[in-house]
Structure 1
Amino acid sequence: MSETTLHTTELTAQYSVQVAGDLERNLKEQERLSSEIEALQEQLAGLRHDHTILVNLQQALGTPAAPAAKPVTAVPASRKKAAAASGAARKAVPVKKQSGKKVTAASAPQLAQPTLVDLVRNHLADQVEPRSAAEVTAALGEQHPERTVKATVVRTTLEGLVAKTQALRTKQGSSVFYTAPQAAVPAAGDQASAQSA
């Protein structure tokens, strides 16, 4: 082989390694952002659902409507979710009349399905020991088989709770564990009393 051919082969190999590394980092970043977007869309859907219930309750009570807030620009939901929402709207069945207004089953207050944030927060509050994101995901998957619970979304949700000081994060080696704030306070007191003994 000539020196030029050898040099070209080495450069090609270096670029191939660099491109492969860049692609891997790009895919990981896409996955991270996708999971954050999914968690935020779930939170937004929960807030919209709560808003609808509150507006319906306000109308049922006959209280004057609060000034309308600036509409939120939505991130397009998946087609599956949009189809389910439009299907539910079409299946609205009249329930009763109240002060001349027809209330439909779709607009009547229903038991709201808890958001993933609520499920994660409640799960941590029920635990005595710290839990990893994988353990929380597995537990929620068992408790709510009707829901799709992804580890990346749970991890993002847990980090969001930590940012809002609604959960605490601890590291043990390379593993990360989460606890509810009130669960961590007695444990810290126990450790202090154990160290003084």
Structure 2
Amino acid sequence: KTLITHISEGFDFLGFNVRKYNGTLIIKPSKKSQKRFTVKLHEIILAKGKALSQQELIGKLNPIIQGWGNYYSHVVSKEVFCRCDQVLINQIKRWAYRKHTDKSREWIRNKYFIRDGNRSWIFGLEYVCGGIKDKFILRKLADIPIRRHVKVKCEANPFDPSWDTYFERRKRKYAWQRA
């Protein structure tokens, strides 16, 4: 299982591709991981989900999308997220078109997709519960924020009281990343 390779060729490890591009080290989701993810979505949508309702399909897909996105949210993955979102929306469209072969594409769009601000083709439904209008939509990977790790100073010691102010400032400054 040992592979010796030059860093400019890169290597895959734990679903990440580690490689130097023009002298800059970039870590991003590996091609195998992306393929596994899209195949898993395909199985859920088109193999197992043919008879599912829209709400059930969204309920099955959202945890998978959120989990995969969170795993890769700390590396360079925004372009990968956009590509996977495009594959996902095409699979959803195919699911909807196969479910209603005798209906027009405009009818399918009005039934299964909603508009939200500038975005159209959002797979979801609007409902009213207790007089409050709400939406149940499919998550997008591109909406998951990319959060970078911030290094701790090498001389900082959390057990030394003289560094307490540094750690308090750091905790306040990067609290938004943990939310």
Larger Rg over CA atoms? 1
TM more than 0.5: no
TM-score (norm 2): 0.27
TM-score (norm 1): 0.25
Higher normalized helix content (fraction of residues): 1
